[in-house]
Amino acid sequence: SSEVLEAIENVIQGVLQSLAQKKAPVLTVANRTDWRNIEFKDSVGLQMIPGCTTKQIRSDCPQSARRFALMLKMLSMIYKMVQSNTYATKRDIYYSDTLLFGSQSVVDQIINDISCMLKIPRRSLHVLSTTKGFIAGNLSYTEEDGTKVNCTCSATAVTVPSNVQGIKNLTSHAKFILIVEKDATFQRLLDDDFFNKVSPCIMITGRGIPDLNTRLLVRKLWDSFQIPIFTLMDADPHGVEIMCVYKYGSVSMSFEAHHLTVPSVKWLGLLPSDLKRLNICKDALIPFTKQDENKLASIQKRPYIACQPLWKKELEIMAASKLKAEIQVLTSVSSDYLSRVYLPNKLQFGGWL
């Protein structure tokens, strides 16, 4: 915490020095969303390059003065929270002054900019994300406040903790971790008691694009147990994008890649090649939209696809067919095909990439 306080004090000192010299104060932040500032490393995923380009948030420029003021306001809130050892979610911060911030996304961006500017992970700033992910299966742990959580015995999923860093005493006999893209599929596998039937496993879902806590938890599980991690996604560009976020990280959070990515993640399904192999009826597939075509083309150009020839092949199959499928398409074979046949066979015979 002293490191965080000192980093904030240095920023404020810089602002005061500018004022003392009758200069307009400026905050300098990295260009987080520029691909030119990102490098791909096999062992880490997408990470920010050391000498990346920056942008200035000036206090004397009409376009950025408001953002400058909001960043100072946020720095003051973080400083108070770190000093008093209290935490707030991004949502709490937004609702503390909705008129000032204007929207939740403004708060989210400013917090990420501050985290990147100070070179301090977001959770060390005492700002928590509102969790939307779920976890179930062979796992128990103790939360920071001493609450014992057992995911094994519940028929309903447990919410991913909002302070992943604080959890300890993780125990599990799981043989693998299964990341499921969608809540509906996750619930279906839960109803079918999947995590007990095949072999003990841990199931986790970020319910679409994962929030920070879900990604932190997947990383923590990997660090703790070093067991295989598989993903079950829709066979569409959006599903591939989500899987890449778990495996390689996202451009906007590349400055925190070391804590968030798990490069050993494997693509279990639903593979575009599975659709042909399982004779899925063309009528059950969904035609691409223009947006799907653009998304797929952009994924195919990414640096990490070049070192994944088997993934590349699957994306080419998808691009050629211009058809996509949701995991639910497997119910067209039989209602419990996913948990009874598809997943057990894939896991037994190594049907992942």
Active site positions, annotated: 95
Q: Encoding tokens for residue 114?
A: 């501050």
E-strand ranges in the chain read 26-30, 38-41, 45-48, 54-58, 88-89, 127-128, 134-137, 140-142, 148-150, 158-159, 168-171, 176-180, 201-205, 229-232, 266-269, 286-287, 323-324
Which residues lie closer than 8 Å to 172 by C-beta, 6 or more apart?
A: 138, 139, 140, 200, 202, 221, 224, 225
| Count of CB atoms situated within 10 Å of the CB of 71 | 21
- Answer yes or no: are the C-beta atoms of 170 and 220 closer than 8 Å: yes
| Count of CB atoms situated within 10 Å of the CB of 347 | 19
Radius of gyration of the chain (CA): 22
